[in-house]
Structure 1
Amino acid sequence: MTETTAFQFTRESAIAKVRAAEDAWNGQNPEKIALAYSPDSIWRNRSEFLCGREAIIAFLRRKWARELDYRLIKEIWAFEADRIAVRFAYEWHDAAGAWFRSYGNENWEFGADGLMRRRIASINDLPIRDPDRLFHWPSGARPIGNPSLSELEL
C-alpha cells in the first residue's frame, strides 16, 4: 500500500513525466538518469533486483554496454495519484550485430518529492531483422513528431 503523499499527477504531468523518462533513457547518461530516482529507490528489472542510485547507475552502464544503438519509445498506459503505468518498446543490437525489439511494461511509484521510489519492469526480447527495424532517429531523444508506439501499432 502506498503511503500518503502530497504528490499527485494530472494527465498532462503524467504524460510529461513519461516523455522526460524516455528522453533521459535515450540520452544514456546513467548518472543523470539516477537523479530522477530516490536515493533508496527499489527496482525490479526482469529478474534483477536493485536498490539505490549506485545500483541503478551500475545497472544502466551494464545495460548499454550490451544493448548497442539503443532507441526507446515509452507511452503512458494509466496513472493515478502517485503512480504511472507505462508500456514501452526499444530496439538494440548486440556485439555480434543481431537486432532485437524489446517490449515491456513498467509500474512507477513516486514519493512526495516527485522522485521515483519504485520501478517494476517486465520485458521480453524479440529478435528482428535489420529491415524490420522501426526506430531510426539519431542517437538521443526521439524527435518530436516521430511516431508513437500506438501510431506504429506496437
Structure 2
Amino acid sequence: MDKYPIDPTKRRRLEALIRIIDIIVYGAVFLGGVYALIFTPNTVTTELAGWEWLVPVWSGFLLVGGALGFVGRVSRYWILETPADVAAVVGILIYFVVLGRTAFTSVTAAVASVLVFIAMLMMLRRYVELQIFGSDPSHKDFQSRLADALRRRTSNVAPRKE
C-alpha cells in the first residue's frame, strides 16, 4: 500500500461508498425485523410450531441491531454499532437456524440459507473491524476507554498514520 498509494480523492470516495453500503445494510436489517414481526411467513410459523414466541425475539434483535447500527453509522458514533452488530448477528442466527431446518428440502431454501449465513458473516466482519477501532493499549481502565470511545467519531477517511 505504501509503495503504490491510492489517490486521496479516490480513497475518500471509496470509503464514503463503504459508509453508504453499511448504512443500507443496517437499514435492510431493520426492515428485516419489521418484516419478521409484521409479515411472518406461514412457512416460518409452521416450522416454529410451539416456539412462536421466538418471532418477536428474533425480530426484536433485528430491529434493535438495524436501528442502532443505522444511527451509529449515520452519526459516525461507531460505539453504537458494536452492540448493534451483536444484536443483528443474534437475530440473523435465529433466522438461519429456523430457515436452515428446511435447507435440504429444496434448492431455493438452500440458497436462502447460504445467503442468510453470508449476511451474518458480514455483520461479524463489521464487529471485528470495530474491535480494531476500539482497541487502544494505552487505556487500561474502563472509564478512560469509554470516555475515549464517546469522544471518537469516524470520518469517511481512515487515517493512514502508523
**Structure-1-length-normalised TM-score:** 0.27
In terms of fraction of residues, the more strand-rich structure is 1
Bigger RCO (CA 8 Å, 6+ sep): 1
In terms of fraction of residues, the more helix-rich structure is 2
**Structure-2-length-normalised TM-score:** 0.26
